[in-house]
Amino acid sequence: MVPLIDEKLRARQSASERADDAGLDRHARQLIKVKDAPGKDFTEFAAFDLSMDEQVATALGGVRDGIRATDLPVTELQCLRSLVRLEPNVTEVAAFLQKSLTILGELEGAARWRDLVGPGVQLPPAGRRAARASS
C-alpha cells in the first residue's frame, strides 16, 4: 500500500520538487551513515530495545484509564477557556466561544447543573470582551 501512495505523491510533484526531495534524501542518508571501521563497537545499538515491557504496559494502561475517566465536555470547556485566555484575535475567540456555547447547551440538556457553574465555565476577561463584542 505504501509504495502505491508514494507513487501517487511522486506523480503529483513537479520535476524541481522531486529534485529537491532527492537532495534532501541524499543529505539525510549522509547524516545517518555509519562508517564501518576496525574496532567499531555496536553493542550499544544491540542493547537498545523498543519492545513492550511491563513498565511500558503499565504506563499505557494508566493512560487508557485516564482517557476513560476524562469528562470530555468539561475538559473541552477548560481547554477552550485556556485558548480564549491566550488568543488575541477576537474572531478566533468568538469561534471558541461559539463552540463553548454548544458544549454548554449539551451540559444543560443533560441537566449537569454543577458543571454549568463550575470553574471550567468561567470566562477569562478576553472571553467576556469578545462575548460583549459579538452580542
- Burial tier of 116 (Cβ tally within 10 Å: 0-12, 13-18, 19+): middle
Q: How do residues 72-115 score in pLDDT, each as one tens digit?
A: 899 999 899 999 999 999 999 999 999 999 999 999 999 998 88
For residue 92, the model assigns a pLDDT of 93
Q: Is 65 inside any structural domain?
A: no
What is the pTM assigned to this prediction? 0.46
Residue 18 CB partners (closer than 8 Å, separation 6+): 10
Domain count, the chain: 1
- What average pLDDT does the segment 13-26 reach? 61
Mean pLDDT check: name the lowest of 21-30, 41-50, 122-131. 122-131
Q: Residue 64's pLDDT band (boundaries 50, 70, 90)?
A: confident
Q: Which domain holds residue 106?
A: 70-134
Q: Is 130 inside any structural domain?
A: yes
Cell representation of residue 122: 468561567
Q: Is 48 inside any structural domain?
A: no
Q: Is 85 inside any structural domain?
A: yes
Residue 127 above 90 pLDDT? no
Q: Is 26 inside any structural domain?
A: no
Distance CA 75, CA 53 (A): 31
Q: Is 4 inside any structural domain?
A: no
